[in-house]
Chains A and B, each alone.
Chain A
């Protein structure tokens, strides 16, 4: 199954959620943010190459890190050469081979976000308890609805439980919060999932809860 992690606007922690959720689900994380890749890259073929027909999807998956990752290139030329319509087939190929795939989508309502949502069986919407973030989330939820991709859950990042109810009401989906966390920041700096760096932290336990919650919903 393929799970798209999307957001109405950038900077809300979407890539962090995709990476840590990928670690908990033992999934391949695909960095599909074609114009603004965020997840760690390494030498070798990347998603730009795959979407330009220069590399095979499976040879671009890097299994060497703490989380299996299909990274994305960072050059403008690469982003320009990438054929976004090929993303659906790429995700399908990776999903057939590896099983679980978590896609770090571009934020917003562009066609790259749309194709990733279309290819996914369900989506997660990452947001923050701020007005601009929530307004963007409503639009992203609408895009997912039009494309027929069910919203499995909302992840309210850097927030406490108090903010959960109004967000759940506004977006019409259950909410998991991820607290502001030193452990998570430390894990980010180390290029590791928080579940590895600080397994007893609250952030790690929230990502475990998130993974537990999306599993059954996706199996429906």
Chain B
């Protein structure tokens, strides 16, 4: 439990507040202004010192490191001019990256914005998304031979294969379990039994898409092997 002592005096129409906070063990404290006016915090190079905001100060106090604060306000003095509005364990309110993401929301591109709607490489453990496979017309017939091969279509196919392979790895991990403990651990790694059911369903869908893709690849390979563009003859004609 932290203890606050505060007093104030007036100089040139401004109220100057002095605050001293002590505690028997390390504490996080929030000190808030009780004057009926704004807080003018201490500044360096025009920037408020760390810990200050519009209503007061938040910082740490320890038995051997008492917290001494001073601020000004145009409001009239009151007694006491400041109070401890909140306190807790040191570090209990420190923001974490996880808390920032929770508060501000994820900023990833929506699934619908992905090339061809394919879910990205993160889908190795995400069994919920739709899975059109690489045979969805991702770039359309306008992707001609001159439009390059390393573009979004390539990324989309790579991402789709990475997702399929991720699901297969997860499925193989479940199959490889030979004891109850291993099976329990594998189910946990996969995200629970419901996630395992969804995984099985997705792997079945993958099987069908891969078979279709295999047939399409074979046909394309046969055509690629059969075709030979007569470039020299065409050049003579052109």
Residues in A lying within 8 Å of B, measured CB to CB: 34-35, 52, 75-82, 84-88, 106, 109-112, 114-115, 118-119, 145-148, 150-152, 168, 172-174, 217, 220
B44 in complex: contacting residue of A52, A76, A87, A220, CB < 8 Å = A220
Task: Tell me, yes or no, whether B108 is within 8 Å of chain A by CB.
Answer: yes
B109 in complex: contacting residue of A80, A118, A151, A220, CB < 8 Å = A80
In the assembled complex, 15 residue pairs joining A and B whose CB atoms fall closer than 8 Å, in A order, are: A52-B122, A75-B155, A75-B159, A77-B115, A77-B159, A78-B120, A80-B109, A80-B120, A80-B122, A84-B107, A111-B105, A148-B50, A172-B46, A173-B45, A217-B47
Task: Tell me, yes or no, whether B82 is within 8 Å of chain A by CB.
Answer: no
What CA separation (Å) do A119 and B96 show in the bound complex? 9
Separation in Å of the B87 CB from the closest CB of chain A? 17
Interface contact B95-A118, CB-CB below 8 Å: yes
Task: Tell me, yes or no, whether B48 is within 8 Å of chain A by CB.
Answer: yes
Separation in Å of the A155 CB from the closest CB of chain B? 15
Point out the residues of chain A lying under 8 angstroms from B106, CB to CB. 84, 111
Interface contact B101-A85, CB-CB below 8 Å: yes
Over the window 88-122 of chain B, the binary record of Cβ atoms lying under 8 Å from chain A Cβ atoms (1 yes, 0 no) is 00000001111011011111110101110011111
Interface contact B113-A173, CB-CB below 8 Å: no
Point out the residues of chain B lying under 8 angstroms from A148, CB to CB. 50-51, 95
Known contacts: A77-B159, A82-B108. The answer to whether A174 contacts B121 by CB under 8 A is no
Point out the residues of chain A lying under 8 angstroms from B113, CB to CB. 76
Point out the residues of chain A lying under 8 angstroms from B120, CB to CB. 76-78, 80-81
Point out the residues of chain B lying under 8 angstroms from A146, CB to CB. 95
A110 in complex: contacting residue of B44, B96, B105, B121, CB < 8 Å = B105
